[in-house]
Amino acid sequence: MKPPKRAGGRRVLLVLAALALAGAGYAYGHLRAMASVGAGYVAKELCSCVFVAGRSLASCRPDVPESMDRVEAELLPDGVRGFVPALAERVARYEPGFGCTLH
């Protein structure tokens, strides 16, 4: 005689899968928020360095801490775009008389 099938095992797997998805969603949200802060920091720092101090983007990049190496930067005609691909993007624009501000 075969033992009866247990539905409890499936429930446990479903609960574990739901917890894993919830944890992944939380981690993604947290990572995205941190990427946005980093992108804003890099954009603002490099914008000020280029447009206020009058230096080149290449000479300004070493001024940003190594911990921000994952944040890429792009020079715009009136500012700097800081971004982490697929996660976050921030733009700092230079406004004469006010310096660089995040948008």
| Rounded-to-integer distance, Cα 83 and Cα 72, Å | 5
Model's pTM, two decimal places? 0.80
pLDDT in tens, 9-35: 889 999 999 999 999 989 988 999 999
| Rounded-to-integer distance, Cα 25 and Cα 22, Å | 5
- Residue 8 — pLDDT band, cuts 50, 70, 90? confident
pLDDT of residue 66: 96
pLDDT of residue 35: 96
The region, left, alpha or beta by phi > 0 then psi within -120 to 50, assigned to residue 5 is beta
Average model confidence (pLDDT) across the chain: 93
- Residue 3 — pLDDT band, cuts 50, 70, 90? low
Residue 4 clears pLDDT 90, i.e. is over it: no
pLDDT in tens, 37-56: 999 999 999 999 999 999 99
Delimit the domains of the chain by residue range.
8-102
